[in-house]
Structure formats: C-alpha cells, structure tokens
Amino acid sequence: MAINRRCSLCIRSRKQSCRTLLLALMGTSLLLFFITQSGMKTPFLHGLQHPTPSLQSPYPSRRIQDYQVDSDDGTAQHAFSNDSNGLSGGVEAGVVDETDLLGAGAERRTAEVLLQKSTPMDTLEQTVQEILKTERQIIRQAMLDYSFHPALNTKRLEDFVPEYGGKPVRNLVITTWRSGSTFIGDVLQSHPATYYHYEPLMDFDIKQVRHGKAAKQALHNLHHLLNCDYSEMEHYLNYGQGHQWLFEHNKRLWQYCKAFPHICWSPRFLTPFCKLFPFQSLKTVRLRLNLTTEFLQDKQLGVQVLLLVRDPRGTMQSRRHRVWCPDNPDCDNPAWLCQDLVSDFHTAKKFQTMFPNSFRMVRYEDLSFNVYNMTRKLFEFFHLSYHRRVQAFLDTHTKQTIGGVSSTFRDSKVAPIHWQQDLSWEDVKQIQSVCGEALRLWGYKIAKDEAHLRSFNPVGEFKTVL
C-alpha cells in the first residue's frame, strides 16, 4: 500500500515537471516569434549568414597592419553645417565629424536609416539593391553644382560613371611609408563622389614590390580595382575581413560596411557599388614607380600618376613610431629607402618626357609649405574641381597638430621638418652616410654638424612641375 502511494506521488511529480517544461518551451517559442516579426536585431540572427571562407595564401604569411588609427587621434576644432551631402556653409563652433569632412555624412545617415528598415529576412541582393539605389541619389545630389574640368570635354555625369559605361576620372599616388600619402589620400577623398582605394597592396606585408611574381600579382590587383572589378581578388578580400582598416579609410564605403558587415567583403556588393562613382583615387606605399609604366601607357584606363617623395631623414624618423617597421629591411633600412628614391628619380625623369600630360612628381615638403596653392595645382593635374569641400578639409587639417602619428590633422608648416629636433645627430649622420645621392637628386641639404642640424633649412631648390 505504501509502495503504491509513493508511485502515485512520483507519477504526479513527473507530470507537473513535464507541464512546467512544456510551458517554458511554449514561452520561448512565442518570444522568438515576436522578435522575428518586429524586425528586432539579434546577434544570433545577424552576421552569420555569410561565413568567412578559408583560403590558402600565395602571399607572405606575416600580416602587420600599418595605418591603423591610434587611440589618441583627435578631431579638428571647427565644424560645418550639415546638408544632405555632408558639409556646406561656413565655419561654426564645435567638434567636426571626420566622416562629414570627408564627404561621407550622407552615407552615414543613409546607412543608419537602411539598417533600421532592414529585417532578418532580407537577402544579400535586396540589401545591395537598396544601398545602390540610395547611393545613386547621394552622388547625383553631390554633383548638382559641380564644375567639370575643361580637359574632360563633357559635362554629363553619366559619361564618367562605370555603371553606365562611362570612363571615370582616375588618379594614382605612388610613394612609400610615412611620406605624407595618408594626407593626400584624404584630400582626394574630400572631393565629391570619390571612391578611395586605400593601400590595396596591404596584404603584401611590409615589403616593397619591385619585380618578379609579386609585381605581376600587384599589377593584376591594381588593374582590377581601378576597373571596379572585385573578382579574382579572394586573398585581398579575405585579408580585409581581419584587417578592417583596409576599407575603413574609404569613408563612403565604410558607412555601409559598419551597418551591414555581412555584405562588406562580397564582390556582389563591392563591384556594383564602386561602379557608381565617377572619380576613382588610389594610393599605395608598396609599388615602385617603374611598375606604373603600363598604367600610363593604357589610354583606355586614362590614369593620372603622381609620385610623392619626402626627405628620407623625415621618413625614417616617422617610421620609428610604428611597431610594424623594425626588422623589416624595406622599412627600417635607410639604405634600401634611398636606393628606391634614386631609382624613382631616374624613372621620373624618363616619365616626364614620355608622359608629360599624365605624370607628375612632388615633394611632401613643397606641398606642406604651400598647401593651398599646391593642392589647387594637384587637382588641376588630376582633372578635378577644387571644390568647397576640399577647401573645408584643408581649413581643418593644416592649421594645428592634433592626434597621434596616423592623424592627418597637422600644422603643415612644421610637420615635414620636425625630424630636425627629434633625431639625434648620430642618427642623422648614419642616414646621410647612405643617402647622399638621394638627398642630392631630390634637392635636400646635408646637415654639417649638430648645431647646423638644429637650425638650417634642409629643403633646397627643386623644380616641381605641376
């Protein structure tokens, strides 16, 4: 009798547990149903639809980022009133948003709206089409008051948009690490409707590309990017997924990448998005000038090439602040740097004769000391309009030094020559001992002793044709 009573109690207890479990499961199912129907974003419903592929790398296995923004980077102390395209109007008090200064304010706001409207059921194709539709409108709005360069022989936007079969205005900046190219890249990006290819050879490691298989692969990649073709770029895209600054400097693109990371590295998004833009800028610190010959010879590509150089003493001083530079001879060996400067000089002299309308060279110091006039001349060479947005960028980035070593907020009259105070006399002597020819060819003066080093003007005469 006692046994039967215990069994009865046990059965009732199990039934009660089952009912409790069943109610809990029903409650969870209802919760998931309401979350899905409301479009609420959940980590288990987003970002996992497109797993990162595992690729075998034909490139160097070591990967060191080289232009990641430091945590102490600051912002300018001036702001501009926002319109639908980012900046307009005059200077106002306050802190400026760098995204707005680089003309991507409209993309930031649009990406936020699209993200709010999206649902977990949206396909990649649906998301891409929504972005393309709105970006077309942003670009058209930005170009309403644009004055096309006379050398372009047309005023129709469609003639420059690859999506419509047009030929974009392309420019290519060639230099080396810590020579002022991040600043020039951002100046170009402040120009309306510009798609910025930032350091597309970053996945080649801390190495200079001069010849051989690396050169062949590098030229393949640059050709593809200048033509907005992200096919056959698996290694580049796979690398970027773990090194987001590869795209982060392209402010217009990055606004959508932040909102929809699962589409950011897909050619199905990147190729059509890139083809919306009538202006294409690319800068690289890893390709030597001689390899750009085929770009300059390609009339259909129509690229304008600029060689940017800097006093090797300033370059070496700046590289000391970068954790990725030591133990990489292409970066930390001044003799290798100056061999490249000599080689680039002789190539540049040939290019001046061979390509008088599509090649220029400029020293970073000349640009910095006379930044407004030199930028106007650079834009004239690049067949770009000196737009009010470009003026706004220069106004906020060249008056004072703010931020860390990667910041582009610099006092342009001090930044190029602060190495004179930062380097020891022994360091300067060592660099000059292996860089004499490079310094002479590019018009830089030799320091005679420590007293002379601290007081002289190291930037001599050099004929820059712009």
**Which one has a higher pLDDT value, 159 or 90?**
159
**Which one has a higher pLDDT value, 103 or 178?**
178
- The position carrying tokens 């798609």 is 195
- Asked if pLDDT for residue 12 goes beyond 60, the answer is no
Concatenating the DSSP letter of every residue in 210-234 gives -SHHHHHHHHHHHHHHHTT--TT-H
Report helix, strand or coil for 364: helix
Instruction: Note the pLDDT of residue 220.
Output: 98
pLDDT tens-digit profile of 62-72? 332 333 333 32
- Asked if pLDDT for residue 322 goes beyond 50, the answer is yes
CA-CA distance, 277 to 133, in Å (whole number)? 13
Instruction: Note the pLDDT of residue 154.
Output: 87
Report helix, strand or coil for 87: coil
CA-CA distance, 338 to 328, in Å (whole number)? 15
- Asked if pLDDT for residue 59 goes beyond 70, the answer is no
**Domain map (residue ranges) of the chain:** 149-455
Instruction: Work out the burial of residue 48: count CB atoms within 10 Å of its CB; fewer than 13 is exposed, 13-18 middle, 19 or more buried.
Output: exposed
User: What is the average pLDDT across 127-149?
Assistant: 96
Cα dist. 295→233, 290, 298 in Å? 19, 10, 5
DSSP state of 402: B
Calculate the average pLDDT of the chain: 82
Cα-based angle 334, 336, 341 (whole degrees, multiple of 5): 90
**Which one has a higher pLDDT value, 13 or 319?**
319
- The position carrying tokens 């639908």 is 84
Instruction: Note the pLDDT of residue 438.
Output: 98
CA-CA distance, 419 to 312, in Å (whole number)? 10
Instruction: Work out the burial of residue 418: count CB atoms within 10 Å of its CB; fewer than 13 is exposed, 13-18 middle, 19 or more buried.
Output: middle
Percentage of residues in the chain with pLDDT exceeding 90?
70
324 touches 331 (CB < 8 A): yes
User: What is the average pLDDT across 300-325?
Assistant: 95
Report helix, strand or coil for 366: helix
Percentage of residues in the chain with pLDDT exceeding 70?
75
- Asked if pLDDT for residue 331 goes beyond 60, the answer is yes
Instruction: Note the pLDDT of residue 400.
Output: 55
- Asked if pLDDT for residue 132 goes beyond 60, the answer is yes
| Max Cα–Cα distance, the chain, nearest Å | 113
- Give the pTM: 0.78
pLDDT bracket for residue 307 (50, 70, 90): very high
pLDDT tens-digit profile of 237-256? 999 999 998 999 999 999 99
Domain 149-455 classification at class level: alpha beta
- Asked if pLDDT for residue 97 goes beyond 80, the answer is no
In total, the chain counts a number of residues equal to 466
**Which of 232-236, 277-281, 379-383, 404-408 shows the lowest mean pLDDT across its residues?**
404-408
pLDDT bracket for residue 435 (50, 70, 90): very high
**Which of 23-27, 73-77, 377-381, 391-395 shows the lowest mean pLDDT across its residues?**
73-77
DSSP state of 444: B
Strand partners, 303: 170
The dihedral formed by the CA atoms of 88, 83, 169 and 215, expressed in degrees to the nearest 10: 100
Strand partners, 309: 363
Cα dist. 50→129, 131, 301 in Å? 18, 18, 34
- Asked if pLDDT for residue 402 goes beyond 50, the answer is no
